[in-house]
Amino acid sequence: MSQSSLIDTISQAIDGGITMLQLREKKLSSQAFLEEALAVKTLAKDRHIPLIINDRVDIALACQADGVHIGQNDLPLPVVRSLIGADKIIGVSVQTLDQAIIAEKQGADYLGVGAMFPTKTKEEAIIVDHETLAKICQNVSLPIILIGGMTQQTIPLFQHERINGFAIVSEIMTATETCHVTQKYRQLIDQQLLNKRGATCPFLDH
């Protein structure tokens, strides 16, 4: 996807109701990633949407993103915090209760729990079962974002858990009518989860 197409897609997703944006690029050079991140940051700032950079603390600092999302094999959370400062957002991907508890103790701002289902965007992802998710919800007070296989069919399966948002990639990024599809997700979450559990609207993970 070209940078102009990416910006247009993100703009439509914002129109449709996303409340946070994560930018993830595994194949771009550092220079190309930074150029893309700067363009996305400009749009996100203008539209008042927080921008989170996946994995790359250096890119997050360079584009003045609102935060960083890290996995279990990335830089340790305390190190990331020392680099980006106390005022930035740090999200942590977790697959077990122990990981979730440690992330909370170390000062994470939110948890990305999953993958809840197999996903083509990260085929090597560890699948988290519903029992583990329930334990995390019960024992950790941080906001919880579900990741991996989040669709209009799977999201309602979590209406009885304490979920605060959903990371959605393919359904939004590949849609021919991005705004319309995002609006449908927003309506689904508002109707089935927001009033019951204080969930947010889609967290678009590119």
Which residues are designated catalytic? 24, 93, 122
Element (H, E) at 71: none
**Single-letter amino acid code for the residue at 150:** M
Strands 51-54, 20-23: pairing kind: parallel
| Residue of 90, 17, 16 whose CA lies nearest to 52 | 90
Q: How many CB atoms lie within 10 A of CB 167?
A: 25
Per-residue tokens: 107: 């000062």
